[in-house]
Amino acid sequence: MIFHDILVLILIILLIPLILFKYFRFKGSNTITFSSLGVLKRIKPSWTIKARHILIILRSIVILLIIIGLARPQAGKEESEITTEGIDIVLTLDVSGSMLAEDFEINGKRFNRLVVVKDVVEDFVKGRTNDRIGMVIFSGRAYTQCPLTSDYGVLLEFLEKVKIGMIEDGTAIGSAIGTSINRLKDTKAKSKVVILLTDGRNNAGEIDPLTAAEIAKTLNVKIYTIGAGTTGLAPFPATDFFGNKVLKPVKVDIDDELLAKIAEMTGGMYFRATDTKSLKDVYAEIDTLEKTKIEVKQYTEYDELFRYFVLAAFGLLVVEIILSNTMFRKVP
């Protein structure tokens, strides 16, 4: 509840104390002459004498309610009408065998690249609002894991199911871009974005990556590219003679030049993530760069409540008048 004319409430501070002061200051001004007070002292005061202050309390409440009514108390609900310009995002993830390299960590424990990427992508999705997000996965070929959707719960369920070995091995970057563009080409979003993550070089697929990037540029699709993997050698899981898991150093081979070129052609940016922290920083920066613009229109609908206070004041005033002329009637 709010008050439209809140300054009127100042009258409460001024009038109520004044009324109480005048009442208790002059309540004993009427006198009656008796020859002796002895008889009067033996008379026990009735309950009406003890409750004689009820009238001034009622009068004070009446004035209080009228003042509150004059301040125009209002109750209402505020509603917002949100208009978004909208961003359609396709998360394009490499699930080739090289993503098994365990050069990333979570809480000090080694995990393969895909596990960490899925964890970071999940946080990225949870941080978005009002955008449609889809997912494309690729290795030797590419296919849509999840179409564009604003239901992030469904998207995260599909993300959870992503694993290495779902597709024949290889790195078809051109096909991945082509499949991602296909999900975006007919959308009416103001901004269309592909976030492509890979840890290798294009060695499969029928589409040249730069040709696919040129098509993306024509369709106003911006591509952010991410090279995931440490520099130099990365620990790769293998099995020794006794069947135990061991980590062997394998050379990291990411085509930084191609990925940077793809990003430059489409107006995006290229990032290199060499560990878990830098990977999180990359997605955080992209999240900052690609923010949905929101226009909010607010309106409030109020219901005037003054009538309830005025009616209550009128009812108490009637009660005061009745009591003052019956039970609490004064001797002239």
Interval 50-67 mean pLDDT = 73
Same domain, 181 and 303: no
Strand arrangement, sheet containing 294-304? 2-3, 73-84, 294-304
User: Cα separation of 184 and 176, whole Å?
Assistant: 13
Q: What is the number of structural domains in the chain?
A: 2
Cα–Cα distance, 180 to 212 (Å, whole number): 10
Nearest to 1, CA basis, from 79, 76, 80, 78: 76
Structure tokens belonging to residue 198: 């890979």
**Res 23: pLDDT:** 62
Residue 273 lies in a domain: yes
Q: What is the DSSP letter of 45?
A: P
Residue 67 lies inside a defined structural domain of this protein: yes
Q: Strand, coil or helix: what is 187? A: coil
Considering the domain architecture, whether residues 171 and 216 belong to the same structural domain is answered as yes
8 class by beta-carbon count within 10 Å (0-12 exposed, 13-18 middle, 19+ buried): middle
Q: Are residues 261 and 301 in the same domain?
A: no
Same domain, 63 and 100: no
Which amino acid, residue 317? L
Task: Tally Cβ neighbours within 10 Å of residue 206.
Answer: 9
DSSP 161-217: H--TTSS-SS--HHHHHHHHHHHHTT---SEEEEEEEESS---SSSS-HHHHHHHHH
- Same-domain check for residues 14 and 158: no
**pLDDT tens, residue by residue, 312-321:** 878 877 877 7
Residue 62 forms part of a structural domain: yes
Judgement on whether residues 301 and 281 belong to the same structural domain of the protein: no
Shared domain for 146 and 124, answered yes or no, is yes
What's the rounded Cα separation, in Å, for the pair 174 and 321? 91
| 34 in any annotated domain | no
Write out the H or E segment, with its range, that includes residue 221. Answer: strand 221-228
Domain ranges, residue 325: 1-23+47-84+297-332
Question: How confident is residue 194, by pLDDT bands cut at 50, 70 and 90?
Answer: very high
The answer to whether position 41 is within a domain reads no
Q: Per the structure block, which two tokens stand in for 227?
A: 């090279």
pTM of the model: 0.65
pLDDT at 137 over 70: yes
d(CA 249, CA 97): 15
Is residue 281 in some structural domain? yes
| pLDDT class of 22 with cuts at 50, 70, 90 | low
User: What is the average pLDDT value for the chain, to the nearest integer?
Assistant: 83
Percent with pLDDT over 70 in the chain: 76
Q: What is the mean pLDDT of residues 212-232?
A: 94
Which of 10-14, 105-109, 285-289 has the least mean pLDDT? 10-14
What is the average pLDDT across 298-320? 75
How many residues are recorded in the chain? Answer: 332
Same domain, 61 and 145: no
Same domain as 159, residue 174: yes
- 244 shares its domain with 328: no
Q: Do the domain assignments include residue 40? A: no
Band of residue 295 on the pLDDT scale cut at 50, 70, 90: low
Distance CA 186, CA 136 (A): 16
78 and 95 in one domain?
Answer: no
Same domain, 159 and 123: yes
User: What is the pLDDT, as a whole number, of residue 143?
Assistant: 94
- The answer to whether the beta carbons of residues 86 and 187 sit under 8 Å apart is no
Q: Indicate whether 35 belongs to any domain.
A: no
Return the CATH number at 127: 3.40.50.410
Burial of 32 (0-12, 13-18, 19+ CB in 10 A): exposed
| Residue 69 · residue 310 · CB < 8 Å | yes
Which ranges in 129-193 belong to alpha helices (H)? 152-161, 173-184
More confident residue, 319 or 46: 319
pLDDT score at 7: 65
Lowest-confidence segment of 137-141, 179-183, 226-230, 242-246 by average pLDDT:
242-246
* Confidence label for 309 from pLDDT (cuts 50, 70 and 90): confident
